[in-house]
Copies of this chain bind each other. A is one copy, B any other.
Amino acid sequence: MNSENRVTIKDIAKATQLSVATVSRILHKKGQHNSQTVKRVTEIAKQMGYVRNTSAADLVKQKSRIVAVIVSDTKSNFSEHIIDAIEDKAIPAGLNVFILHAGNHDEPSQVRAIKTVVERAVMGIILVSLELNDRVLATLKDISIPSICLSTSVKNATIPFVTSDNYQMGYTATQLMIDKGHTKIALAGIPTTGSINLRTQGYLACMADHHLPVKPEWIHYGSCTYDDGIKAWQMYAKKREITCAICASDFTAIGLMNAAAESGVKVPDDLSLVSFDGTEMVDMVRPRITSITQSFYDMGLAGIQYLINGKDVKSEYLPFKVTQRDSTRVLTAAEQDSKKD
């Protein structure tokens, strides 16, 4: 119809011989009106192809019905579960969800994303898997928009967060391997910075608690990618000392497994593997990969509920569980001896 200028309430007011106020009220179901008029207005509005100008409405109402989700752009596949949960709750509540990408450690891109949504007066911001530095955290705290971090913890809980306990996960993964008789346990693809590095601490603590030595070359640092798995194996392959590896993500585990396979090392016969996350990926590869499975959907739930209910949610750690699949094997007594120093 009119692809020139957008139809406004004023146009409809003119066409119906009513005031803009009446039209506005009718179109958004406020107050009571003659049913004849209501019918006339809605019909004309549809016919003229009216679409509301939300910028104008937001401006006077000083708020919007939008939730912004700012997601790390690193190739991870768990964020979609978090987003699923957010959308599952937000849409029925009449909220719309805008997703933006930002760099995991990239301040300028984070600031850009935050600025974009803050300028538009979103009703809340959910930050997924982002490592925010103090400066960004400060800006976030200064603005009057409720924000929450998911899948990362925040120093001093400047803003609330919901994640898994990385330290405990690291400890648990290590304990799992030790329980299966492993003593030479590698750690692959964990970043050196951010809350995720607490997994390393958990690993070291568990090893120490069992009086097991750790060699530096067992720890490969990375960023949870598939390629990190490959690189980690290249590192381990030199001495071929370790009997198992704890992998930073499902992708890292798969990369590691594939790289090992190329050297003729089979999982779980020659190498046991456990990964963090436990997304559907671990069930798609063969052997299936044992994982420390996180509750991503629940994280999303926690995030959106915080925004909807406005309750002062305490920052919290969500439970994780060990899901045994086919990538881990119990070492025989003989193997444990032969591998012993």
Query: Measuring CB to CB, which residues of chain A are less than 8 angstroms from any residue of chain B?
Result: 1, 3-4, 6, 49, 51-56, 58-59, 64, 66, 73, 75, 77, 80, 83, 87, 91, 96-101, 109, 112-113, 115-116, 118-121, 142-144, 226, 251, 254-255, 258, 261, 280, 284-286
Candidates B4, B75, B144, B254; contact of A3 at CB < 8 Å: B144
Candidates B49, B119, B226, B261; contact of A142 at CB < 8 Å: B49
Determine whether the beta carbon of B284 is less than 8 Å from that of A226.
yes
Candidates B6, B77, B98; contact of A98 at CB < 8 Å: B98
In the complex, which of the residues A55, A120, A280, A284 has the most CB atoms of chain B within 10 Å of its own CB atom?
A55
By beta carbon, the residue of chain B nearest A116 is B96
Set of chain B residues within 8 Å of A144, measured between Cβ atoms: 3-4, 6
Set of chain B residues within 8 Å of A56, measured between Cβ atoms: 55, 59
Set of chain B residues within 8 Å of A118, measured between Cβ atoms: 51
In the complex, which of the residues A58, A75, A80, A226 has the most CB atoms of chain B within 10 Å of its own CB atom?
A58
Shortest CB distance A282–B (Å): 12
**15 further contact pairs, Cβ within 8 A, besides A51-B115, A96-B112:** A3-B144, A6-B144, A51-B119, A51-B143, A53-B59, A53-B119, A54-B55, A55-B120, A55-B121, A87-B101, A91-B112, A97-B101, A98-B98, A255-B284, A284-B285
When all copies of this chain in the complex are counted, the total is 2
Set of chain B residues within 8 Å of A286, measured between Cβ atoms: 258, 261, 285-286
Candidates B58, B96, B143; contact of A55 at CB < 8 Å: B58
By beta carbon, the residue of chain B nearest A114 is B51
By beta carbon, the residue of chain B nearest A226 is B284
Set of chain B residues within 8 Å of A115, measured between Cβ atoms: 51
CA distance A144 to B112 in the complex (A): 27
With contact pairs A55-B55, A55-B58, A120-B55 given, residues A142 and B3 touching in the complex (Cβ less than 8 Å): yes
Set of chain B residues within 8 Å of A142, measured between Cβ atoms: 1, 3, 49
Determine whether the beta carbon of B54 is less than 8 Å from that of A120.
yes
Shortest CB distance A289–B (Å): 12
By beta carbon, the residue of chain B nearest A119 is B54
Determine whether the beta carbon of A96 is less than 8 Å from that of B100.
yes
Set of chain B residues within 8 Å of A285, measured between Cβ atoms: 284-286
Shortest CB distance A90–B (Å): 11
Shortest CB distance A169–B (Å): 23
With contact pairs A96-B100, A101-B87 given, residues A284 and B254 touching in the complex (Cβ less than 8 Å): yes
CA distance A1 to B138 in the complex (A): 10
Q: What are 24 A-B contacts with C-beta separation under 8 Å?
A: A1-B142, A3-B142, A3-B143, A4-B144, A51-B118, A53-B59, A53-B121, A55-B55, A55-B56, A55-B64, A55-B120, A56-B59, A59-B59, A83-B101, A91-B112, A96-B112, A96-B116, A98-B99, A226-B284, A251-B284, A254-B284, A258-B284, A284-B285, A286-B286
Q: Which 5 residue pairs are nearest across A and B when measured between Cβ atoms? A: A54-B119, A99-B99, A55-B55, A55-B58, A98-B98
Set of chain B residues within 8 Å of A58, measured between Cβ atoms: 55
Set of chain B residues within 8 Å of A53, measured between Cβ atoms: 59, 119, 121
Set of chain B residues within 8 Å of A66, measured between Cβ atoms: 116
With contact pairs A3-B142, A284-B285 given, residues A52 and B119 touching in the complex (Cβ less than 8 Å): yes
